[in-house]
Amino acid sequence: MYAWALRPLLFAVPPDVAHSLALAALGPLEHGPRLRAVVRGAMAPPRDDRLVVRAMGLEFATPVGLAAGFDKNALRPRALSALGFAHVEIGTVTLVAQEANPRPNLFRLSADRALVNRLGFPNEGAAAVAQRLRAARGEVGVPVGVSIGKSRVVPIDDIDAVVADYTSAFDAVRDVADFVVVNVSSPNTAGLRTMQAKEHARALLRPIAARAAGCPPLLVKVSPDMEDGQLEDLLAVVDETGLSGVVATNTTIRRMGLACSARRVESIGEGGLSGAPLRARALEVVRRTRARLGSKPVIIGVGGVERAEHAMALVRAGANLLQLYTGFVYEGPGAPGRIARGLADMVQRDGARSITELVGVG
């Protein structure tokens, strides 16, 4: 029904309006426990031990989660878990509340099953989001991650201020997050990706990792646009600081091989591209990350996941867990359940006892 009825209606309005409508539509589900129980029974896959992932001291009923960006302010975590997401990542949140970058800031490339956004971490602030999550504690039913980023008002060239900003955001959310993701890879905050450079990453991640001491687990989200040597340098910092893992990947600023016209792409301008065009590079970054870090750290694969085949490709490349956002926009609320059921079928066909046996074997 979504593909032929609901999606055309949502795609008939600007994408930021469609997003607001989707969040509003999830309101009754968020605040109605009985409705959530009914929807969970219809949408979420039944428990299947072959899909359970135990990582970072947490249990995930399936590997399929929702990426940061959809629910920036923790407005709908209970509703999203009821749809079948086995974990939900909130944010990105910043210490200082901030508005979105000027509109238009969100675009569809429907021919490519992609989105371009230059939102720039709009959120109500880490403390306000943490308070909302605290109120929902125990009712979400799945692990909840929180992505933290740099406040726009903090100058990127003042490394001490940047570190203080991130660590304060971490302190604000640490007691309500099952895991925290340090976002240093969004292309929509000026200069942020410079924090992926080895010395800057070390200066930032060391103090946050020391604060976390593994509780909550701490991950870093990486860009797909780094050269292999740059990625290697960042992963060396991940290794030496003892982070729990990596989220691979964020959106890309590249525009190669798109079906949309060059004129359309040029008219959109800057921003991070997500969805199907990111799929191949996300696989490569996951594969390189697993090869560099070995078997212990957790890798969350993100980029172009729409179907079970895409999800399994990330698992075989080395991902323990995976996330979707653009695929959720194009495939609709049934996507997490369909992907999970498809993964169960693929595990069975491969003769594996658990999906975890397939991590990094392809």
Task: Specify the pLDDT at position 5.
Answer: 85
Lowest-confidence segment of 14-18, 210-214, 304-308 by average pLDDT? 210-214
**Residue recorded with tokens 């591209």:** 273
The arithmetic mean of pLDDT across residues 108-115, rounded, is 98
The arithmetic mean of pLDDT across residues 295-308, rounded, is 98
The HSE-up count of residue 305 (CA atoms within 13 Å, CB side) is 33
Task: Specify the pLDDT at position 80.
Answer: 98
The arithmetic mean of pLDDT across residues 297-324, rounded, is 98
* pLDDT exceeds 90 at position 86: yes
Task: Specify the pLDDT at position 289.
Answer: 98
Task: Specify the pLDDT at position 358.
Answer: 98
What percent of the chain clears pLDDT 70, i.e. is strictly above it?
100
Task: Specify the pLDDT at position 82.
Answer: 98
pLDDT tens digits, residue range 178-231?
Answer: 999 999 999 999 999 999 999 999 999 999 999 999 899 999 999 999 999 999
By the 8 A CB rule, do 340 and 312 touch?
Answer: no
Give the N- to C-terminal CA distance of the chain in Å, as an integer: 34
Instruction: Find the angle CA(221)-CA(332)-CA(354) to the nearest 5 degrees.
Output: 60
Task: Specify the pLDDT at position 181.
Answer: 98
* pLDDT exceeds 90 at position 4: no
- CATH class label, 2-358: alpha beta
In this structure, what token pair is assigned to residue 324? 């979707």
Please state, in angstroms and rounded to a whole number, the distance separating the CA atoms of residues 220 and 204: 11
From the candidates 81, 147, 185, 186, give the one annotated as an active-site residue. 186
Q: Band of the pLDDT at 3, cuts 50, 70, 90?
A: confident
Task: Specify the pLDDT at position 20.
Answer: 97
Task: Specify the pLDDT at position 249.
Answer: 97
Task: Specify the pLDDT at position 81.
Answer: 98
Task: Specify the pLDDT at position 201.
Answer: 98
> How much of the chain is helix, strand and coil, in % rounded to 5?
45, 15, 35
Instruction: Tell me how crowded residue 352 is: count the other CB atoms within 10 A of its CB.
Output: 14
Task: Specify the pLDDT at position 56.
Answer: 98
Pairing type for strands 114-117 and 106-109 reads antiparallel
**Residue recorded with tokens 């993964």:** 343
The arithmetic mean of pLDDT across residues 288-302, rounded, is 98
Instruction: Find the angle CA(302)-CA(227)-CA(150) to the nearest 5 degrees.
Output: 60
Contacts of 103 (CB under 8 A, 6+ apart): 16
Long-range contacts: 135-141, Cβ < 8 Å, 24+? 136/74, 136/77, 136/78, 137/176, 139/33, 139/78, 140/77, 140/78, 140/81, 140/88, 141/78, 141/81, 141/82
Task: Specify the pLDDT at position 2.
Answer: 83
pLDDT tens digits, residue range 238-263?
Answer: 999 999 999 999 999 999 999 999 99
* pLDDT exceeds 80 at position 362: no
The arithmetic mean of pLDDT across residues 309-324, rounded, is 98
Q: What are phi and psi of 87, to 5 degrees?
A: -155, 155
Instruction: Tell me how crowded residue 17 is: count the other CB atoms within 10 A of its CB.
Output: 12
Closest CA to 44 of 357, 245, 337: 337
pLDDT, averaged across the chain: 97
Instruction: Tell me how crowded residue 135 is: count the other CB atoms within 10 A of its CB.
Output: 11
Please state, in angstroms and rounded to a whole number, the distance separating the CA atoms of residues 15 and 107: 6
Q: Is 223 a catalytic residue?
A: no
The arithmetic mean of pLDDT across residues 167-176, rounded, is 98
Domain ranges of the chain: 2-358
pTM: 0.97
The arithmetic mean of pLDDT across residues 152-180, rounded, is 98
The arithmetic mean of pLDDT across residues 21-47, rounded, is 97
Q: Dihedral of the CA atoms 74, 77, 83, 89 (nearest 10)?
A: 70
* pLDDT exceeds 80 at position 55: yes
